[in-house]
Amino acid sequence: MSGPDSEAGAGWKELRADEGSAGKRLDQWLATALAPEFSRSRIQALIREGAVTLDGRVVSEPKRKVSMDETYRIILPEPETPEPQGEDIPLEILYEDDALIVINKPAGLVVHPGPGNWTGTLVNALIHHCGESLSGIGGVRRPGIVHRLDRDTSGVMVVAKSDHAHRLLAAAFADHGRDGDLERAYVALVWGAPHRASGTIDVPLGRSSSDRTLRSVVPAGRSDARHAVTHFTVLERYGPGNPGEQIASLVECRLETGRTHQIRVHMAHIGHPLLGDPDYGRAFRTKVNRLPPELAQKVATFPRQALHARLLAFRHPETGRLMHFEAPIPDDMRELLDGFASL
């Protein structure tokens, strides 16, 4: 905690470390002192942005150990709203009852609020659409969310509207459907074409050593390694050549596990990253030069990874009925596929 002589001014605050604070991480100490207005992740971001100084010098390392009697000044932005508010954001609803709602999420829609995206998310839309039926489910910032899609991945999602539905659906997704009827199928437009018509990618994933927001294939013995299995089937091959030599292909991916960025990392691992993937497909950007000018322009300006959650099936948590939902490939991906089909 801060010492008794902490003080604040307009837009800033000074905190002096007492004996009990010595040895603590700077981000931990500040987050405790400034709770609940500022989360630890928000404090870390402010430190990295140069908002924290010690004796007039910027401190940019969140892990720095605090020493007794050190006085830190932190520039405080307006605190962000801790609870999301309802917003009138259009939803494409595939099904809805008192227990759950199934939507076709568009690319570009963030699922739940977080740093940099406190508004305009699916959660904001759900709060507006469902009202109080979402309260208390899954935490204030993630009401009813039992699984998620990346911001730039489109397709089918289910959201719980009751506590009972939330518990059972969350358990089904946590179990990855091994003991139930959960089924998830995605379609991805990837660079190149696997030699085999189908296959399984079974390699563990963990945090990337270069960017903690990304994932990478890691040794099974690493502390953060998570079992990850993707089954793929080649649906279409584009361009001349023998199997494995084409310029691109449309692949269906079925998840046996559900790790962050799993399909994107796994497909890149076998040499076939998704078109438009800004994180895992950078090394393949020059392949656009092999395309006809019109298609090359479309690929170069495609604003997201070409990934769509086509199918979701699960057992209804209230009725026990097997539910099956599909969403057609969206127009932006369809336009790319039509271009590749003409090669």
Amino acid letter, 121: T
**What is the CB neighbour count within 10 angstroms for residue 80?**
14
Whole-Å CA distances, 102 to 43, 97, 132:
35, 9, 18
Burial 197-214 (b: 16+ CB within 10 A, else e): eeeebebbbbbbeeeeee
The residues annotated with a catalytic role in the active site are 150
64 Cβ contact list (under 8 Å, min separation 6): 25, 26
**What is the CB neighbour count within 10 angstroms for residue 177?**
19
Q: Are 267 and 253 in contact (CB under 8 A)?
A: yes
d(CA 20, CA 23): 8
| Cα angle, residue 212 at apex, residues 208 and 217 outer, rounded to 5° | 20
d(CA 121, CA 177): 27
206 Cβ contact list (under 8 Å, min separation 6): 215, 216, 218, 222, 224, 225, 226
Q: For residue 187, which of 263, 111, 299 has the smallest C-alpha distance?
A: 263
Q: For residue 113, which of 140, 79, 75, 144 has the smallest C-alpha distance?
A: 140
Q: What is the CB-side half-sphere exposure of residue 248 using CA atoms within 13 A? A: 28
Q: For residue 182, which of 317, 87, 292 has the smallest C-alpha distance?
A: 317
Q: Which residue has the tokens 């991805």?
A: 188
